[in-house]
Amino acid sequence: MGQIELKQVTKSFGDVQVIPPLDLTIKDGEFTVFVGPSGCGKSTLLRLIAGLEDITTGHIEIDGSDATDVVPARRGLAMVFQSYALYPHMSVRKNIAFPLKMAKMDQAEIDKRVDAAAQVLNLADYIDRRPGQLSGGQRQRVAIGRAIVREPAAFLFDEPLSNLDAALRVGMRMEISELHKKLATTMIYVTHDQVEAMTMADKIVVLQAGVIEQVGSPLELYRAPRNTFVAGFIGSPRMNLITGEEAAKHDAHTIGIRPEHIDVVESGGTWQGTVGVAEHLGSDTFFHIHNTGLADTLTVRAIGDVSLTHGDKIHLAPRADEIHRFDTAGLRIA
Amino acid sequence: MATKASRSAARLMMAPAVILLLGWMLVPLTMTLWFSFRTYLPLRGGDQGWTGFDNYVRFVTSSSFWPAVSTTLIIVAGVLAITIALGVLLAILLDQPMWGQGVVRILVIAPFFVMPTVSALVWKNIFMDPTNGLFAHLWRFFGADPVSWLSNAATPSIILIVSWQWLPFATLILLTAIQSLDSEQLEAAEMDGASPLARFFYITLPHLSRAITIVLLIQTIFLLAIFAEIFVTTGGAFGTRTLSYLIFQRVLESQNIGLGSAGGVYAIILANIVAIFLMRIVGKNLDT
Ligand SMILES: Nc1ncnc2c1ncn2[C@@H]1O[C@H](COP(=O)(O)OP(=O)(O)O)[C@@H](O)[C@H]1O
Ligand SMILES: [Mg+2]
């Protein structure tokens, strides 16, 4: 079991309120991702759930019972830290065995569980090394191993992949997703990278300045962002947000259109402009387009390698049914 | 120091310092060795020529030699144990966020700035004096008989005084080490179910092992040679005669420079034995 419920939780450091009153339910077995820009309070929220920080007001319930004043060790949660926080003077085996040793489990059972974890995470080859002798990805695995042997009610990850290089990051992302499928345990995963959020999450919680902007599945957020912040944050490259006359035509203060929902056409089209930067990725081409008569540059994604380059004239046709409309407060108009 | 030119320039620049240091060390060492093989009694005939190993034999066979060696080792070990144990505790306390941290830290470091002679005299006269000392008053307040610290418990008293002087040094080094401990490691241990005591033994103490080693080695070097604290308190009486104090007595009180020099050579040997011994048991902490 691993249902976590936050009720009217707030957190202040001194006079600064980092988390205004916040309600959130994380269902058992769900992979929930907290995503938001740096400094928005993701880590703080995770640490509140872990019990490493005291909450200022409100309640936290784990599996239906109040855990607000329960010490971290008794919450049944395991955390993987951004710096991995491995114990440098202990071997990999001892690192992984540490929580079990603290729980006074008998040695035979400890060995069994550590070996099982090492098996799952492919740690067997360096089980007797120290963390200092491992690569970043291997350390990450050890940190995860230390978390899984405890068989916790939920896993908490704080930007676990941010210290890895891009290729390794993609690999570890899949491994964590697979681990979730295998264990079916609740996981809360913090990241500032919306790609990680989109690819891994069952449910994404978008945060800004401690406030939950939207909660939903990746595709819900992609299809129906509740406001301009979520619209701009989810999706890569970012959604084009257009204000002014063009928006007024759609009875909105702001309209949004994703780069992949604007077609490049031979002639005609709604907007014309000149190509600024063209990013040719082979599978796609991203164009940044100026002089459209709109306030900002437009980003457009074309499938395949389209051979337009800097300075070329381009004709664009946005798909009418993919235009998102927002009011003056930035909220979505249905 | 990449090129040949810069390397030789570096050597040239270092030469004066190296020569000075070498001279500083070699001249007294050679003189000690020289005198240790001579009969040299300044008030009874001066330098009377070679005597071979007589001085060495006399120094070791004297009934004061082995007690002096053991006193030296007891004082060194006692001070090391106290300063390291209390130093770790104080460092942990000082690392906690608290009101007036800056002032408290300066107060803790203060004893290190007091000269050994002065601090020993302060302890002797203000705290340990059997009639007027603060301890005597305290003892009487509780209805006990005052203890004559420096005669009845002389070695422990000296250990206390010297520990008081060296505690700031240990605390300071250990505090900087504690401050470099990654707080996420402690939090990880907390989540792993480690009690505060377990966190101390499994995380903090191993993290401090290198700093403790350094404190151990540096203090040992200085503690083997403590002198002023003994000179102004017990004058070497009541079993507080260390090896260095014995040498002092041979040279100045018995006016026998040859014998004292032989003692000096023994002191060098003792220091080396202790150093090798220490490096064996704790030196591996420095490699990792
Ligand atoms: N211990 C602390 N004391 C004071 N302010 C803090 C503390 N921890 C975090 N904050 C503040 O809380 C805000 C949120 O921080 P954090 O949760 O670490 O953000 P994120 O993980 O989303 O990047 C930041 O503005 C940060 O300065
Ligand atoms: Mg963070």
- If phi > 0 it is left, if psi is from -120 to 50 it is alpha, else beta; for residue A92 that is alpha
pLDDT at B287: 61
pLDDT digits (tens, 9 = 90+) for A22-66: 999 999 999 999 999 999 999 999 999 999 999 999 999 999 899
Mean pLDDT for B114-120 is 90
Mean pLDDT for B16-40 is 90
Atom of ligand 1 nearest to the CA of A47: 17
Q: Say which DSSP state B144 is in.
A: P
Of B184, B194, B207, the CB nearest to A85: B184
Q: Say which DSSP state A52 is in.
A: S
**Within a domain: B214:** yes
- Count of helix runs (H) and strand runs (E) in chain A: 9, 18
In angstroms, the CA A60 to CA B168 distance is 45
**Within a domain: B169:** yes
- The angle at the Cα of B153, spanning B140 to B111, to the nearest 5 degrees, equals 85
Q: What is the pTM of this model?
A: 0.82
Beta strand extents in A1-158 (DSSP E only): 4-13, 16-26, 31-35, 57-62, 65-66, 77-80, 154-158
Structure tokens at A114: 């550590």
- Count of helix runs (H) and strand runs (E) in chain B: 15, 2
Which domain does B178 fall in, by range?
A: 65-240
Evaluate if residue B85 carries a pLDDT over 90. yes
Nearest CA in chain B to A146: B192
pLDDT at B40: 85
pLDDT digits (tens, 9 = 90+) for B180-204: 999 999 999 999 999 999 999 999 9
Confidence of residue B288 (pLDDT cuts 50, 70, 90): low
Query: Please, are residues A34 and A207 in contact by the beta-carbon 8 Å criterion?
Result: yes
Chain B contact present for A133, CB below 8 A = no
Q: What is the mean pLDDT of chain A?
A: 92
Chain A CB contacts of B188 below 8 Å: 79, 81, 85-87, 146
Residue B38's nearest CA partner among B59, B25, B53 is: B53
Query: Please, are residues A294 and A270 in contact by the beta-carbon 8 Å criterion?
Result: no
**Whole-number Cα distances in Å, A193 to A21, B238, B268:** 25, 73, 64
| A96 pocket-lining for ligand 1 (C-beta < 6 Å) | no
Residue A273's nearest CA partner among A282, A286, A264 is: A264
Nearest 5°: phi and psi at A28? -60, 130
Chain B CB contacts of A83 below 8 Å: 182, 184
Number of CB atoms found within 10 A of residue A186's CB: 26
Say how many CB pairs under 8 Å bridge A and B: 62
In angstroms, the CA B191 to CA B257 distance is 65
**Within a domain: B1:** no
- From the centroid of its chain, how far is CA A27? 17
- Name the minimum distance, in Å, from the CA of A99 to any CA of chain B: 4
From A44, A190, A193, A212, the mutation candidate for ligand 1 (largest count of ligand atoms within 8 A of CB) is: A44
What CATH number is attached to the domain comprising B144?
A: 1.10.3720.10
Determine whether the interchain pair B192/A83 forms a contact, defined as Cβ–Cβ distance below 8 Å. no
**Within a domain: B212:** yes
Confidence of residue A120 (pLDDT cuts 50, 70, 90): confident
Query: Please, are residues A143 and A134 in contact by the beta-carbon 8 Å criterion?
Result: no
Chain B interface residues (partner A, CB cutoff 8 A): 182, 184-185, 187-195, 198, 202-203, 206-207, 209, 288
Q: How many domains does chain B fold into?
A: 1
In angstroms, the CA B24 to CA B17 distance is 10
**Within a domain: B100:** yes
Q: Which domains does chain A have, with CATH numbers?
A: 4-230 (3.40.50.300), 237-326 (2.40.50.140)
Residue A237: asked if its preceding bond is cis (omega within 30°), the reply is yes
pLDDT at A49: 94
